[in-house]
Amino acid sequence: MVNILVTGGAGYIGSHACKALKQAGFTPVTFDNLATGWEDAVKFGPFEQGDLLDRPRLDEVFDAYKPAAIMHFAAFSQVGESMRHPGLYWHNNVDGSLNLLEAAVAANCLDIVFSSTCATYGDQDGVVLDETSAQRPINAYGASKLAIEHMLRDFEAAHGLRHVIFRYFNVAGADPDAQIGEFHQPETHLVPLMLQSIAGQRDALTIHGTDYDTPDGTCIRDYVHVTDLVDAHLLGLHWLHQNNPSTVFNLGTGSGFSVREVIDAGRAVTNQPVPFSEGPRRVGDCTKLVSGSQCAEQQLGWSPSRSYMKQIIEDAWRWHRQGHYDR
């Protein structure tokens, strides 16, 4: 079978991508340093522990597996942490990606699907963001991802490294079979925080900011189911294999949910109260981020089927109830 190198394949999105690749007939080769990933999430192909900052280790893996393409998920991704420690994000995300691209060129592995973010757009309230929207990141996480996007374009011009860039909106949910799901340490994402609070695994959920210029005062985000997201990555891989040009796609639903609306949905799905408290805004948080994903639908043929808040929470709750958060 054809090998695909999956950086960050032990993480939340990367592990779901590995399952999708395996089901599609590929062999996903996980490359992960386990800083934020989990070895027990590597279930669908070989695991190679290593760090993107270690170029010789990258060269070893490229030489051993000779991957046909790369799916690049590995990155630090906490907005608040990136505001406190920007150097950490520039070093890990940008320097690590530079090592990866140079190793890929040296190995003649010239197709890459890159995990970017809507955080590259910054705070543009009242705008449905599409691929032509101005990119003005307001935190080091978004800025580091934007730098990698520029890097990819430079490497294509110089070395023929072709790419598909996906700018995600808020990813949530879990594998419908409950084999893998979302778990971070520390946890910072709304849906798993809410479900852990419902299950009594943590204190009350904190709503960070209730004075935003939104109907209920809380932030609004566009949520996409993780399985729909990784389906788009397989389509992106196919796009490159068909010799289509390098491009960028947003991945979202075009609809936004406020924090309070997510809490209401969680209460309805689980039929349990959601303990929460109200706190101040977090530095670096935008008021509203909603995607226009027509390009992915029209050009890739991407048709998300599970990206409804009820379905997202149902799948995540099924996984959480199995106790996977107790690592």
Q: How far apart are CA 165 and CA 253, in angstroms?
A: 17
Active-site pick, 89, 141, 212, 325? 141
One-character DSSP codes across 134-153: ----SSHHHHHHHHHHHHHH
Sheet strands side by side (includes 111-117) = 47-49, 27-32, 3-7, 69-72, 111-117, 162-168, 247-251
Burial (CB < 10 A; 0-12, 13-18, 19+), residue 192, is: buried
**How far is residue 264 CA from its own chain's centroid?**
24
Q: Which amino acid is at 211?
A: D
Question: Which phi-psi region, left, alpha or beta, contains residue 122 (left: φ > 0; alpha: ψ -120 to 50)?
Answer: left
Q: Is 168 a catalytic residue?
A: no
CB count in 10 Å sphere of residue 39: 11
SS3 of the chain: helix, strand, coil, percent, to 5: 40, 20, 40
Question: Got the DSSP string for 185-231?
Answer: SS---HHHHHHHHHTTSSSPEEEE-S-SSSTTSS-EE-EEEHHHHHH
Q: What residues are annotated to the active site? A: 141
